[in-house]
Structure 1
């Protein structure tokens, strides 16, 4: 009898230990899924939300997704999380706006939804009431029902392309569903849905240019696998440096993925149908020839630029940039400017953003820092500096931008169609016309 009791006790103990190990494994898997999906990008490092996500329609406030039962998702079932990810519908809110990229997350498989749910329920609960999103009429949540009918293909990430081979299949899942890369890198149409024929072909988001990710030469076709691997894991390579939200995505998400997943991402991107966009000029074959004696002396340090009225791009460069990028732009502490794609792009958006805001990232145990100059230079000076480095080191003929273009870029506005711009006026106008029409009909009947 005693032996039997001992045997039962050992069996139960083994089952309990196995269950605990399984739960831990599931939570760890869920954490990896949350990292690959960059949940912290909108919801914050503690996932308590509250940040205003800029959209052309107005600010959209990220939800609290910690397990707090009053202000978070502590009362949600796994099925409710699945609905939020796949259908864009959440308890207490109803229909979500696609700033929450459910048109991509709808492709997340059942096992990963379960793991993500386990992880989100395991993080510390934070009691944080998030401000309600109010975009005004006609951008009300019930309007998303019609939008979803048109553009949500439940179970299939927006725009996903066929993939051939196990590695590319995994890469498609990481790029299209979890990574939701198309949310930034695909242009949008009249009603702000992604354009499938230009999938991953590059777009403009919040004053930045999200580049073409397809295998065309104007996209990633000229990058080696090694260059792409280095960029995804470290945020830089000899031809590009990740800035803005892309830099943060590398820092928070991509740099934490396994080497095999990075290889799978590259395998899929090589198979995405090329989207032809404006080609970049070739990188200069030799460094620019700059004679420092022909340039005015430095303005006693870049921090004094605010009190200097010069709009000479060469002077601004020698004072603010040459100490890291070299007099000839070939780089000392900073990268070789002539090789950077953003400097040679037809659109100066990313260059202007980096000059103004700088780069400040923790990556691979290193602090990548470039100071921004928006509080030392006005828009005219930023434009002059951008023109100088583009024409001198990128050797781009007739390179912009001008002061007005810099102001537009730094406004951080995402371009939208005329229909979205004038939607409130058109909607209210339609209501007025309808009321007048109904009144006219009743008047005719009485007559």
Structure 2
């Protein structure tokens, strides 16, 4: 009886401790998942893998379409049977059960800490499973997955994202981790080299992506963010707009799904780091028009009606098209009534016309905390020649840019086709030629060996 009483007392004493330990374990697991969710947002996973992570998004690359996989824990079509080791390999080495293409930014995620990999693993194992069979990526020969072993040997520096700058201090190091590893900014904002690797000599100095120009993020006064303050950078990343720019295209998606959800401390750290990277000069923006541009209404080809009737007209006069399609929001003089002054927008003054053309064609849809920035696109109602005329008119009159945007350049920009090196463009022919040479060499060696054996006999 005494033993039973002692045992009961011991159990009563231990039970709260066990319960507290279990509660602490659950809280710790919950915190890990919460951190993993934040990291997935900072890593911008949903921009490629969809908001529910079920994949299927078609990523257009210069060598073909790449389909983002399902990364929910669905056993049939997702990562339900993936191990933590395979998950880590996919993130940091581009290798799980198969080799990944570097559209997955593992050259940046290679800088992830062990703790953050574990947090991401904990988060993705508990997101809602979604059964979604994603199309198989087939880039054709020679861009087969095993070829990534050679590419990784050349361009994957394990643990070190490409071009990352050494900095001192907790805030700058946090900014470096966010810019270079999690947000992988240079994967879009750096030009590409001969084998489509990032050109680290022009790190963050701008690059083309699917017909959009991802601008120079370095603190250069010539084409970069030299005239952006820390507050400007934070405002752009948190709201998708500031006094210099409005986010459009892929960047609009990045802001709405990723940077707008980061903490204020992290946004400040990003701004501080971008101010600390090496300035790289590119083509500077125009200084703007000499005077205030206005429309000469008497010189217009057709009377001003609703914009649909004007753009339905076959005119290619930029002033006429601007008056009909743009002036209601942007003002007759470009100073804006329900839109930012065009003369202050970086893309209007930029040497590269791509973003102006893309915005005219596709518009902007930028949700915000207090204001939704929206602009209709005109690709369905304007011809390439008309878009070129509007772009030329806006850039010349409100941006002070010399040079005409042509119908042909509009077609090229909107096609989204990206220039590649001669080696990539002719990769298949070069690969087959190399195989043929290798076969001939092997046959020659066999023949030489046979002849030598006969001579000895």
Query: Which of the five TM-score ranges fits, normalised by the shorter chain?
Result: over 0.9
- Cross-structure match for 1:11: 17
Instruction: Kindly state the Cα deviation for residue 365 of structure 1 after the two structures are TM-superposed.
Output: 5.2
Distance in 1, matches of 2:400 and 2:236, equals 24
- 1:299: Cα distance to partner? 5.4
* 1:28 equivalent among 23, 27, 34: 34
Cross-structure match for 1:147: 151
Unaligned 5+ segments in structure 2 are: 1-5
1:70-81 aligned within 5 A: 70-81=76-87
Residue 206 of structure 1: aligned partner: 210
Secondary structure of 1:343's match?
helix
C-alpha deviation, 1:6, in angstroms: 2.4
Q: Structure 1 pair 371/298, CA: closer, same or farther in 2 (3 Å)? A: farther
Number of positions where the alignment pairs a residue of Structure 1 with one of Structure 2: 444
1:69 Cα shift? Answer: 1.5
- Give the match for residue 326 of structure 1: 331
Matched, 1:388 2:393: yes
Q: 1:370 — aligned with what?
A: 375
Question: Within 2, Cα distance between the matches of 1:63 and 1:392?
Answer: 46
Does 2:399 align with 1:402? no
Shift of 1:337: 0.3
Q: Which residue of 1 aligns with 2:317?
A: 312
**Preserved CA contact (<8 Å) 1:380 1:402:** yes
Instruction: For 1:102 and 1:19, locate their aligned partners in 2 and report how far apart those are by CA, in whole Å.
Output: 31
Aligned residue among 57, 65, 69 for 1:59:
65
Q: Distance in 2 between matches of 1:213 and 1:307?
A: 39
**Conserved 8 A contact 1:53-1:59:** yes
Instruction: Please give the TM-score of this superposition, normalised by the length of structure 1.
Output: 0.95
Structure 1 unaligned blocks of 5 or more: none
Alpha-carbon distance in structure 1 between the residues aligned to 2:303 and 2:369: 34
SS at match of 2:372: strand
- Computing the radius of gyration over CA atoms, which structure comes out larger, 1 or 2? 2
Q: Which secondary structure state, in structure 2, belongs to the residue aligned with residue 46 of structure 1?
A: coil
Kept after mapping to 2: 8 A contact 1:348/1:400: no
> For residues 8-407 of structure 1, what are the structure 2 equivalents within 5 Å?
8-91=14-97, 94-217=98-221, 218-284=223-289, 286-298=291-303, 300-305=305-310, 307-364=312-369, 366-397=371-402, 399-407=403-411
Say if 1:306 and 1:375, in contact at 8 Å, map to a contact too. no
Tell me how far 1:228 sits from its aligned partner. 1.2
The 8 Å contact of residues 46 and 257 in structure 2, kept in 1 or not, is answered as yes
- 2:290, 2:20 → 1: CA distance? 67
More deviation, 29-38/274-283: 274-283
Shift of 1:140: 0.7
Q: 8 Å contact 1:287–1:338 — kept in the other structure?
A: no
Change (3 A) 1:58 1:305: farther
CA offset digits 1:145-185 (Å, max 9, x no partner): 11111110111111111112211100000000000001000
What TM-score do you get using the length of structure 2 for normalisation? 0.93
Deviation at 1:437, TM superposition (A): 5.8
- Deviation for aligned residue 1:304: 3.5
Cα distance between partner residues in 2 of 1:31 and 1:400? 47
CA distance in 2, matches of 1:15, 1:406: 64
Paired with 1:439 and 1:73, the residues of 2 have a C-alpha distance of 45
Deviations 1:376-434 (A, max 9, x none): 0010000000000111111212x221011111100101221111011112212333444
Deviation of the 1:13 alpha carbon: 1.3
What RMSD in Å do the two structures reach over aligned CA positions? 1.8
